[in-house]
Amino acid sequence: MSGTNTNPDWHLDHDTGMIQGTRATLPQLSAAECPIEGMYEKHFNQRELCADMDALAATAQPRPDLARRILVNLSRDLPAHFEDEEQALFPTLRARALPEDELEKILTRLEREHEIAKSAFALLNPALACMVDGAPPMQDDRDALWRLSAAESRHLIVENAILPPLARMHLTPEDKRALLAEMCARREQSPRMDSACARALAKIEYAAIGEQT
Ligand SMILES: [Fe+2]
Ligand SMILES: [Fe+2]
pLDDT of 14 strictly over 60: no
Structural domains of the chain, count: 1
Q: Is residue 26 a part of any domain in this protein?
A: no
User: For residue 116, which ligand has an atom nearest its CA?
Assistant: 2
Domain hosting 206: range is: 36-212
| Average confidence (pLDDT) over 178-191 | 80
User: For residue 39, which ligand has an atom nearest its CA?
Assistant: 1
Q: How confident is the model at residue 9 (pLDDT cuts 50, 70, 90)?
A: very low
Q: How many angstroms separate the alpha carbon of residue 136 from the centre of ligand 2? A: 30
Q: How many angstroms separate the alpha carbon of residue 165 from the centre of ligand 1? A: 14
> Do residues 1 and 10 lie in contact, with contact meaning Cβ atoms separated by under 8 Å?
no
CATH value at residue 97: 1.20.120.520
Least reliable range by pLDDT among 157-161, 185-189, 208-212: 208-212
pLDDT of 200 strictly over 70: no
At residue 44, what are phi and psi to the nearest 5 degrees? -65, -40
User: For residue 42, which ligand has an atom nearest its CA?
Assistant: 1
Q: How many angstroms separate the alpha carbon of residue 170 from the centre of ligand 1? A: 18
pLDDT of 209 strictly over 50: no
Q: Is residue 10 a part of any domain in this protein?
A: no
Q: Is residue 20 a part of any domain in this protein?
A: no
Q: Is residue 22 a part of any domain in this protein?
A: no
Q: How many angstroms separate the alpha carbon of residue 85 from the centre of ligand 2? A: 6
Q: Is residue 152 a part of any domain in this protein?
A: yes
Q: Which residues face 12 on adjacent strands?
A: 19
Q: Is residue 6 a part of any domain in this protein?
A: no
pTM of the shown model: 0.75
| Average confidence (pLDDT) over 177-206 | 70
Q: How many angstroms separate the alpha carbon of residue 148 from the centre of ligand 2? A: 13
Q: Is residue 140 a part of any domain in this protein?
A: yes
Q: Is residue 27 a part of any domain in this protein?
A: no
Q: How confident is the model at residue 153 (pLDDT cuts 50, 70, 90)?
A: very high
139 burial via Cβ count (<10 Å: 0-12, 13-18, 19+): exposed
